[in-house]
Structure 1
Amino acid sequence: MNFASDNIVGGSAPVLQAILDANAGTMAAYGNDEISKRVRARFNAIFEHEVSVFFVTTGTAANALALSSAVPPYGLCVCHREAHIIDDECGAPEFFMHGAKLAGLAGVGAKLKADDVAAYLESLPKAVKQMPPKALSISQVSECGLVYGLDELADLGAVCRAHGLSFHMDGARFVNALVSLGCTPAEMTWKQGVDILSFGATKNGGLMAEAIVVFRKDLAEALDYRSKRAGQIISKGRLIAAQFEGYFAKDHWLDNARHANRIAALLSQGLLRIPGVRLAWPTEANEVFPIIPKSLDQVLKAAGLLYHNWTELSLPETERVADHEVLIRLVTSWATREEDVRKLLEVASSEAAQQAAE
């Protein structure tokens, strides 16, 4: 039973079939094939906007290259202090921004509030010795499993416009947030002021399928060249694009995310019925963050469950993890079975019953 992440499973059947279909015959190289053209047109339709789309193989490449288009080497990108771009990408954004800096701000649940971002921007000296802020980057879903609502996105977009910042969204779990909100892709992005999006499919059924979706043409101007220099112009580009064709067909991407979110909700509800277990943050997408007794943590691991312990840095002020407790992260995917959730809950319930009897 593996709840370590949603990138531990392979590709879904429609995605794999699309790759097989695209594999036959010969097609133009480097993304000039008909499949890539069709998929770019599909992105336009999905987002109800003319967009520039750049296919890449990893989320790190998507984030680093997206930010490199928005932030000059002397600039500053504001993000949460636990954002993936600052904690988990080995300096790739700074490297591709050629020395630009990431500034991490605090926020409960790894989310940023518009007022806090505005206050930080207004506190910065305007002298040349201070790197000027050029972009804001948020994670949707956040690193603590929370989803920015449309009003929150609109408020952040307004701050970006008022201060001349580009607005980047790290959408590694974009569709999980989308189905959680029940809105359209347009409503969750450019209609709220988002300028550039790292659109992830790898965690939701793709093999290695990521895209940079650009809503502002000026930010797209150099991305072909930046992508080439980063080794992300793939010679057999049709096999990357084909994954998106299978992904989008018959709303497969939405169905996958709905399943992952539903399974996470079942897991969350089941855990809350176990004595001594509570949630650090609400379950809003496909990640669950329970605070559990250390004894239960040991029992779960002994039973073969795989998951990660998590940081307490973004807990609400009213919450703390006691010495006898541990905060963990459980992630569900498009392939997680209800049976796996039942097994986890059975182990946890048995341990709770045993503790109560002692």
Structure 2
Amino acid sequence: MTSAATPLQGYLSDNAAGASPQILAAMTAAAEGLAAPYGNDELSQSVRTKFADVFDHHVDVFPVGTGSAANGLALSALTPPWGAVLSHPDAHINNDEAGAPEFFTNGARSILVDGPDSKIDADLFRAAVGRRRGDVHSVQPSVVSLTQATESGSAYSLDELAELSSIAHEAGLRVHMDGARFANALIAIGATPAEMSWKAGVDILSFGATKNGAMTADAVISFDGRLATELQYRHKRAGQLTSKMRFQTAQLGAYLDDDLWLNNARHANDMATRLRDGLAGLPGVKILSKSGANILFCHFPDHLSADLRAQGYAFYGDRWEPGVVRFVTSFAHHSSDIDTLVSSVTELTRGYRSVL
């Protein structure tokens, strides 16, 4: 971790953080001796058992190297090429994966369903799933993808997830969850892994670990055993069945052990709350995010953003409306890092007032 004396100034994303020491130790241990390849080693087998225990459900686990691969593989098992993937306009699969879902599904179309706080509105979703059903001239809604936590840092409640899943299943659609920040959402809404996945109607989950302490490991978690055979072949065909899979499953195993994943997410969420509370009320600063996961959106004057970047702070501010900036906190940020950032913003805003 970064020393408290040297502020961690990167707030672009939580994937800017390194890896938890427990993850590194597990990978070092996995490098000892020989092991069967392609996930047939004892470590990989034990991780499947750990996931089943965590979710209190039989699961099929397919480790992957990226969240985009997880999303693409998961969606490809749930929709034909003439199908459609319904998601929010803010979803990562729409904006940040360079057409990977279309590639993995051999051309399934994306249909966007809006809603506040980057969450799909149930009424709009109900209308979308019924539009042109059975019309051979139109793509057919096949799967809904729910991002949890969302790209704005909000999180669906269990009731919201259950309602959307119910609408989907009644219309014959399957339910995918993009859980790149699954652990952060669990902490934010106070749910269990089972409650926020299969009990809420989720068929398949893209389980994120890289943003929360792992190094190069995420996973597709399927709660439907009927998908296992297809996913096995798609996993291999996508180049994600690594020969030394034990190095990915070592990360995932250590991630789950002793609640490391939940402790890391809780800390990251707490850092976002600390930052929000520190910035609230400062002149020229408007908090846009509600309390949620580890993402904070604010409105800054342009000169404030420029001056912070000149001091070495890294954050996004050119992807949304003018003046809107985003800070993402991680397990690697210390309270002192957050306090130093707040102090920097405070001093800058004080300086602007003195000039005026």
Instruction: Give the TM-score, by structure 1 length.
Output: 0.95
CA separation of 1:310 and 1:44: change in aligned 2, threshold 3 A: farther
Counterpart in the other structure of 2:137: 129
5+ residue gaps, structure 2, are 1-8
Do the aligned partners of 2:114 and 2:121 also contact (CA within 8 Å) in 1? no
2:113 maps to a residue whose letter is: L
For residues 265-300 of structure 1, what are the alpha-carbon distances to aligned partners after superposition, in whole Å with 9 as ceiling and x for unaligned? Answer: 000111113122122221300011011111211111
Secondary structure of 1:289's partner?
A: strand
The root-mean-square deviation of aligned C-alpha atoms, in Å, is: 1.2
Give the superposition deviation at 1:105: 2.0
1:283 maps to a residue whose letter is: S
Secondary structure of 1:261's partner?
A: helix
TM alignment of 1:194-233, pairs within 5 A? 194-233=202-241
TM alignment of 1:1-358, pairs within 5 A? 1-124=9-132, 126-309=134-317, 311-312=319-320, 326-357=323-354, 358=356
Aligned counterparts of 2:153 and 2:22: Cα–Cα separation in 1: 27
Secondary structure of 1:164's partner?
A: coil
Give the superposition deviation at 1:311: 4.4
Secondary structure of 1:245's partner?
A: helix
- Choose 185-194 or 281-290, whichever is displaced more: 281-290
Give the superposition deviation at 1:125: 5.1
Give the superposition deviation at 1:124: 3.0
- Choose 193-202 or 111-120, whichever is displaced more: 111-120
1:224 maps to a residue whose letter is: Q
Aligned counterparts of 1:178 and 1:135: Cα–Cα separation in 2: 23
Do the aligned partners of 2:113 and 2:121 also contact (CA within 8 Å) in 1? no
Do the aligned partners of 1:36 and 1:238 also contact (CA within 8 Å) in 2? yes
Give the superposition deviation at 1:134: 0.5
Alignment length, in residue pairs?
347
5+ residue gaps, structure 1, are 313-320
Counterpart in the other structure of 1:318: none
Aligned counterparts of 2:154 and 2:169: Cα–Cα separation in 1: 24
Aligned counterparts of 1:311 and 1:52: Cα–Cα separation in 2: 37
For residues 154-204 of structure 1, what are the alpha-carbon distances to aligned partners after superposition, in whole Å with 9 as ceiling and x for unaligned? Answer: 111111111111100000000000011111000001111000000000000
Instruction: Give the TM-score, by structure 2 length.
Output: 0.95
Aligned counterparts of 2:64 and 2:146: Cα–Cα separation in 1: 20
Secondary structure of 1:221's partner?
A: helix
For residues 116-161 of structure 1, what are the alpha-carbon distances to aligned partners after superposition, in whole Å with 9 as ceiling and x for unaligned? Answer: 1001222335310011110000110111111111111011111111
Aligned counterparts of 1:246 and 1:191: Cα–Cα separation in 2: 25
2:50 maps to a residue whose letter is: R
Aligned counterparts of 1:192 and 1:23: Cα–Cα separation in 2: 38
1:203 maps to a residue whose letter is: K
Aligned counterparts of 1:249 and 1:129: Cα–Cα separation in 2: 50
Give the superposition deviation at 1:108: 1.9
For residues 183-230 of structure 1, what are the alpha-carbon distances to aligned partners after superposition, in whole Å with 9 as ceiling and x for unaligned? Answer: 100000111100000000000000011110001122232111111111
Aligned counterparts of 2:225 and 2:200: Cα–Cα separation in 1: 17
2:128 maps to a residue whose letter is: Y
CA separation of 1:258 and 1:310: change in aligned 2, threshold 3 A: farther
Do the aligned partners of 2:235 and 2:241 also contact (CA within 8 Å) in 1? yes
Do the aligned partners of 1:140 and 1:173 also contact (CA within 8 Å) in 2? yes
Do the aligned partners of 1:141 and 1:285 also contact (CA within 8 Å) in 2? yes
| Structure 1 segments (4+ residues) deviating >4 Å | none
Give the superposition deviation at 1:310: 5.4
Aligned counterparts of 2:47 and 2:220: Cα–Cα separation in 1: 13
1:32 maps to a residue whose letter is: N
Aligned counterparts of 2:245 and 2:277: Cα–Cα separation in 1: 42
